[in-house]
Amino acid sequence: MVILSFVLDGGVSILEWLATSIGFLLLARKLGWQKRWQLWIPGLGYLRMGQELDAERDGWGFFITYLLTTVLPFFPWEKAPDKVYLGFILVHLILSVFRLIYRIRLGLTLLRTYHAKKTWLILWIFVPPAMLFILALSDRYHPDSGELDDEVKAGTAPAEIEGAEEHKGFAMKDTGLSIDLRERSVRDLSKKRYLLKDIQLNIPNGSLVLLLGGSGAGKTTFINAIIGYEKADATILLNGSDIYKDYGRMKYRIGFVQQQNLIRGSDTVLHTIDDAARLRIPREVPAEERKKRREDAMALMGLTAGSQGLVGKKSGGMLRRISIAMELVSDPELFVLDEPDSGLDGVIARELFTQLRAIADTGKIVLVITHTPDRVIDLFDKVIVLARDSGRCGRLAFYGSPEEAHAFFERDSMEGVVLRVNSKDAGGEGLADEYIERYARLAAGKEEAAAQ
Domains assigned to the chain: 2-142 (no CATH), 177-451 (3.40.50.300)
* Percent of the chain residues topping a pLDDT of 70: 87
**What's the rounded Cα separation, in Å, for the pair 179 and 172?**
7
Answer yes or no: is pLDDT of 226 > 50.
Answer: yes
Max mean pLDDT among 88-97, 180-189, 190-199 falls in: 88-97
How far, in Å, are 368, 414, 426 from residue 373 at the CA level? 10, 7, 19
Residue 153 has pLDDT above 60, yes or no: no
- Tens of pLDDT, residue by residue over 281-314, are 777 888 888 888 888 778 877 777 777 777 777 7
| CA nearest neighbour of 134 among 112, 118, 114, 149 | 114
Beta strands 177-188; 233-238: pairing state:
antiparallel
Is 7 a residue whose pLDDT tops 70? Answer: no
CA 411/CA 77 separation, integer angstroms:
79
Task: Please say whether the beta carbons of 110 and 53 come within 8 A.
Answer: yes
**Which amino acid is located at 429 in the chain?**
E
Q: What is the pLDDT of residue 216?
A: 80
Strand order in the sheet with 191-203: 241-242, 233-238, 177-188, 191-203, 394-400, 382-388, 208-213, 365-369, 334-338, 254-257
Q: How many Cβ atoms from other residues are within 10 Å of residue 288's Cβ?
A: 8
Tens-digit pLDDT profile for residues 353-402: 998 999 999 999 999 999 889 999 999 999 999 999 988 899 999 999 99
d(CA 338, CA 261): 11
Name every residue whose Cβ is closer than 8 Å to that of residue 408 and which is 6 or more positions away in sequence: 398, 400, 435, 438, 439, 442
Position 122, amino acid = I
Q: Mind listing the pLDDT tens digit for each residue in 233-274? A: 999 999 999 999 999 889 889 988 876 666 676 678 777 787
Distance of alpha carbon 121 from alpha carbon 61, whole angstroms: 18
Spacing of C-alpha 146 from chain mean position: 24
pLDDT digits (tens, 9 = 90+) for 428-442: 899 999 999 999 988
